[in-house]
Amino acid sequence: MILPIVAYGDTVLRKVGATIDPTYKDLDKLIENMWETMYNANGVGLAAPQVGKAIQLFIVDTDAFDDEKYPSMKKVFINAEIMEEWGTEWEYEEGCLSIPHIREKVSRFSHLLIRYQDEQFNWFEEEYDGIAARVIQHEYDHCQGKLFVDHISQLKRRLLKTKLTNISKGGAHVDYKMRLPSNR
């Protein structure tokens, strides 16, 4: 089932997600719905707060990047914790399904070490770099109540203010279903 994607301005996007355990109700269904929702919107990642659930869960599929340098990665991340970030800081133009039609260069570290559980709640510790690291950093931020626009300069953010307000009022035209802050 395709779920509506929460638009910028909703308080759920500002919450630190709660950790979850195997007793979390209908988790399989939620993850399945998140994949469907993400692919329907042509996303490469989606975090649970974006479908209205303030929990520590996000999904990533970098296949759409078609980057020969890095193999594509498709994974579910539960209760993730970025343990360490290092390497060169590099800029990449990020976008977000909750903030349509806005793309801004965001600077982040090139490498990270992440500890997380998969959908069977097995623990993993893995290193990532390249585009996979970038998408993980973006989605991980969502679960901490952070958005990519928090990483840009105050001046740039001020310039975006009208556009951001417009998005939260439903003014952004997208071909996927959105849930507006006033619509709750």
Q: Which residues are catalytic?
A: 139
Smallest gap from Cβ 62 to Ni ion, in A, equals: 14
For Ni ion, which is the closer residue by CB, 6 or 122? 6
Q: Which residue's C-beta sits nearest to Ni ion?
A: 96
Q: Which residue, 69, 76, 89, 90, is CA-closest to 120?
A: 76
Q: Which residue, 98, 100, 94, is CA-closest to 6?
A: 98
C-alpha 136: how far from chain center: 8
Smallest gap from Cβ 42 to Ni ion, in A, equals: 13
Q: Which residues bind Ni ion (CB under 5 A)?
A: 96
Smallest gap from Cβ 68 to Ni ion, in A, equals: 25
For Ni ion, which is the closer residue by CB, 76 or 96? 96
For Ni ion, which is the closer residue by CB, 25 or 42? 42
Residue 148: how many CA atoms within 13 Å on its side-chain side? Answer: 24
Residues 6+ apart with CB under 8 A from 28: 119
SS3 assignment, position 48: helix
